[in-house]
Amino acid sequence: MVLSLVVVGFVMQELPNSPTKIEVYALHKSFGLTLLALTVLRLLWRLFAGTPAPVPGTPRWQQAAAQASHGALYVILLAMPLSGWLYNSASGFPLKWFGLFSLPKLSGYDADVKAFALGMHEWLFIALAVVVSVHAAAALKHHYFDRDATLVRMLPGLPPPAGRERND
């Protein structure tokens, strides 16, 4: 869903002005708000159910780095839709979730807040791309170089790394 939002977020701006463009913007916003709700649910579940223990033998600095990148991912997944919502509010547009119900405005019309929120939406995308890339590179390093169970735990169903039994 995040990947689709990113692709649609860029493509929709290039569409010629038309009812379809308005429709695509509305879908981007509704799916973005859905992602916000899912992120909150996931964080609540994490609080309730806890997180898996680190793979045995993981150095402490790597545990700290993993925790920091998970924290950054959650902050971005909350801040990205909130900045979009703020941008929409400060632009003076109404906001409906899939046309079903209206959401409150986070701000009145305000050109400065609008510019700030749009800047945040763009910078958060860059931060997301960096954190996701580092996160994925680290998982691949664990799988192909360290040959431990890190990636297998992230992608259940993936066969264990060559030359290693499952270790989770």
**Contacts with ligand HEM, residue ranges (CB under 6 A):** 2, 5-6, 9-10, 13, 25, 28-29, 32-33, 35, 77, 80-81, 84-85, 87-88, 95, 118, 121-122, 125
Between residues 83 and 150, which has the closer beta carbon with respect to ligand HEM? Answer: 83
Smallest gap, in angstroms, from Cβ of residue 57 to ligand HEM?
34
Smallest gap, in angstroms, from Cβ of residue 51 to ligand HEM?
22
Helix (H, G, I), strand (E, B) or coil at 99: coil
Smallest gap, in angstroms, from Cβ of residue 92 to ligand HEM?
12
Helix (H, G, I), strand (E, B) or coil at 12: helix
Place of tokens 């402490």: 60
Between residues 65 and 113, which has the closer beta carbon with respect to ligand HEM? Answer: 113
The Cα 34–Cα 26 span in angstroms is 12
Smallest gap, in angstroms, from Cβ of residue 74 to ligand HEM?
12
Q: Among candidates 4, 1, 3, 8, which has minimal Cα distance to 42?
A: 1
Residue 18 zone, left/alpha/beta (φ > 0; ψ -120 to 50; rest): beta
Between residues 31 and 151, which has the closer beta carbon with respect to ligand HEM? Answer: 31
Between residues 118 and 127, which has the closer beta carbon with respect to ligand HEM? Answer: 118
The Cα 151–Cα 139 span in angstroms is 5
| 97 beta partners | 101
